[in-house]
Amino acid sequence: MGYVFTVEPSKFEEISRGLSARDTALFFAYGKAADVFSRHPAALVLGADTVVALDGEIFGKPSDDEDAKRMLGRLSGRTHTVYTGVALLGEGIRELAVVGTEVTFRVLSAETVAGYVESGLPRGKAGAYGIQDGWPLVEKINGSYTNVVGLPTEKVGTMLAAAYGGK
């Protein structure tokens, strides 16, 4: 998109508040952005958070390999929704958005799940997977691919252009 960013991890603690998946993604994104903005009030701060939802259950990052296997087993052969909340904060700027994408998983064999988990790739990823990892997990998506990766660049680009006066 042509923007230069400095990455600064947030100290915001992601604690479930009993919100919907969509609202959780937005709450966490805003919390992260607000934390960093509080330390850099002259900056334009972008915060984002992604969650996976299936049947009302929110799948965040797996706590361990067994949790990753549980998540992947639940997602196998099913369609779930990936929500990414995005918060853009700056002087006089408070833009919030949530992007949802439907993802349908292939039916995963026990061997595929075990191999993927043993690769270490599920660690630190909402829903215990990364669509970009190159494993045959996803059958199809309906919506933004970059949203499933973790940052809906189409929406972020629009938000940044508006913040910078359409430039």
pLDDT of the residue at 2: 81
Spell out the residues 6+ positions from residue 64 whose beta carbon is closer than 8 angstroms to its own: none
For residues 131 and 74, what is the distance between their CA atoms, to the nearest angstrom? 16
Percentage, residues of the chain above pLDDT 90: 87
Catalytic choice (23, 35, 49, 133): 49
Q: In angstroms, rounded to a whole number, what is the distance separating the alpha carbons of residues 48 and 130?
A: 16
**What domains can be seen in the chain, in order of their start residue?**
21-163 (3.90.950.10)
Q: What is the pTM of this model?
A: 0.92
Mean pLDDT rounded to a whole number for the chain: 94
Known active-site residue 49: yes
Q: What is the token pair recorded at 12?
A: 């915001």
Do 51 and 83 meet the contact criterion of CB atoms below 8 Å apart?
Answer: yes
pLDDT at residue 1 tops 80: no
Mean pLDDT, residues 112-121 taken together: 96
In this prediction, residues 131-157 reach a mean pLDDT of 95
Cα–Cα distances (Å) from 155 to 2, 24, 84, 152, in that order, read: 15, 18, 10, 6
Cβ-contact 47, 86 below 8 angstroms:
yes
